[in-house]
Amino acid sequence: MPVSKQVTFTEQPNVNAATCPSRSVLEHITSRWGVLVLAALLEDGRRFSELRRIIGGVSEKMLAQTLQTLERDGFVHREAHPVIPPRVDYSLTEVGEQAARLVSGLARWSEAHVTGVLAAREAYDNRT
Amino acid sequence: MPVSKQVTFTEQPNVNAATCPSRSVLEHITSRWGVLVLAALLEDGRRFSELRRIIGGVSEKMLAQTLQTLERDGFVHREAHPVIPPRVDYSLTEVGEQAARLVSGLARWSEAHVTGVLAAREAYDNRT
DNA sequence: CCGTATCCCTGACGATACTG
DNA sequence: CAGTATCGTCAGGGATACGG
């Protein structure tokens, strides 16, 4: 790749970071709650309330929104059972599982290096 | 991992998503400009103005802020040359290169699947 | 050239209340 | 139980101006 080219991940000229469509995919799967939802579903299919409990600190609104976004992108399958009380199961699709494995790998890498990063931060802060 | 456990990536009980320290690492390397900076540096060391040009649409403020964050975390090495006019070179550290390869992989995966995702979105929107 | 400082605004997010 | 609706807050990020 020539030096003069922009970094766009699309190989198309004149497509900058802001308008690059793959950015939206990346943002959805690496979002604050997207990562945790994918990780939770990677282990097993879940109900809404299960997800809410397993992922600590997520509001109903954000969980619903995250699940809708991931469903719309084709990463999550939603199955509503017409029973009383309502029951909805969420699971990963084929591509969703690929995505989940990738972000999960990134998360595990972060976890493995968090000590070193914390040390680096302290060293950085302690230098005048 | 037992079903009853929270998803925290730390294996520590009572540490929820919001306070999990590895989240901050993940957020820094997957941030809007973090991804693009790492990708740009993965190819080659860069000067500030080079990065600004290569990454379209980034403000000086955000580029400086992103580079500082990544430097503080120990992912980016900053070398200021005491010359007139000022010249500063940025490059990846060892861990920074690992991080860059991972996020770059995720970015390439996103790029490869963007067509399918776009189709999924349209299908989702067209169902009543 | 390489940033820092300031202002300001959008939109992400949480809290709360309500519905099928 | 599984959401939707509404409101308020506040931090991310752009624009601009200025400093070393």
Residues whose CB is below 7 A of strand C: A 31-32, 57-62, 85-86; B 18, 47-49, 60-61, 64, 67-68, 78, 80, 85-88
| pLDDT: which is higher, B8 or A91 | A91
Over residues B73-91, the mean pLDDT reads: 93
What is the phi/psi pair of residue A88, to 5°? -130, 130
Position B13 confidence tier, pLDDT thresholds 50, 70, 90: very low
- Stretch B118-122: mean pLDDT, rounded? 96
pTM confidence score: 0.85
Percentage of residues in chain B with pLDDT exceeding 70?
A: 85
Report chain B's mean pLDDT, rounded to a whole number: 85
Structural tokens at position A86: 């309502």
Quick one: which residue's CA is nearest to D12's C1'?
A: B62
For position B16, what pLDDT does the model report? 47
Q: What is the pLDDT of residue A18?
A: 46
For residue B80, is pLDDT > 50?
yes
**Which stretches of chain A drop beneath a pLDDT of 50?**
1-18
Query: Which pLDDT value is given to residue A3?
Result: 31
Closest by CA position to B40, among listed B113, B110, B104 = B104
Mutate to test the interface with A, among B14, B25, B29, B102 (most CBs of A within 10 A): B25
The two three-digit tokens of residue A122, written as one number: 């302290």
User: CB of B86 under 7 A from strand D?
Assistant: yes
